[in-house]
Amino acid sequence: MAKPLLNSEQPFVQTESESSQTPGINEVMAMDPKMETSSYSEQTEPNVRQMEVGPGGDFKMPCTSPPNSKFKSGRSSEQIDSYRSSSNSAMSEHKPRPDKETERQKIDLDLVLKEVGNDLKTGCLQWTNVFQESGDFEKFCPTRVDKLLAEAKALEENLTHQKEQLMDRLKALSRTLQTI
- Helix H, strand E, coil C: the string for the chain is CCCCCCCCCCCCCCCHHHHHHCCCHHHHHHHCCCCCCCCCCCCCCCCCCCCEECCCCCEECCCCCCCCCCCCCCCCHHHHHHHHHHHHHHHHHCCCCHHHHHHHHHHHHHHHHHHHHHHHHHHHHHHHHHHHHHHHHHHHHHHHHHHHHHHHHHHHHHHHHHHHHHHHHHHHHHHHHHHC
pLDDT tens for 52-105 read 666 666 655 555 555 555 555 566 677 777 766 665 554 555 555 656 667 777
In a domain, 176, yes or no: yes
Q: What is the mean pLDDT of residues 32-61?
A: 54
In a domain, 164, yes or no: yes
Sign of the four-CA dihedral 26, 32, 33, 35: negative
In a domain, 3, yes or no: no
Residue length of the chain: 180
Residue 58: name the closest of 42, 40, 45 by CA.
40
In a domain, 157, yes or no: yes
pLDDT at residue 142 in the model: 73
pLDDT at residue 154 in the model: 94
In a domain, 168, yes or no: yes
pLDDT at residue 171 in the model: 93
Q: Considering the chain, what percentage of its residues have pLDDT values greater than 90? A: 15
Residue 22: name the closest of 55, 59, 60 by CA.
55
Is the pLDDT at 43 greater than 50? The verdict is no
- What is the C-alpha separation between 180 and 173, in angstroms, rounded? 11
Distances (CA, A) of 93 to 70, 89, 98, 151: 36, 6, 15, 79
Is the pLDDT at 38 greater than 50? The verdict is no
In a domain, 112, yes or no: no
Residue 108: half-sphere exposure toward Cβ, Cα within 13 Å: 6
Q: What is the mean pLDDT of residues 98-117?
A: 77
Most confident of 15-29, 39-53, 99-113: 99-113
> What's the predicted TM-score (pTM) here?
0.24
pLDDT at residue 39 in the model: 44
Q: What is the mean pLDDT of residues 166-170?
A: 93
pLDDT at residue 118 in the model: 85
User: One-letter amino acid identity for 70?
Assistant: K
Is the pLDDT at 136 greater than 60? The verdict is yes
Range of the domain at 164: 134-180
Give Cα 88 to chain centroid, integer Å.
Answer: 29
In a domain, 65, yes or no: no
How many domains does the structure of the chain reveal?
1
In a domain, 179, yes or no: yes
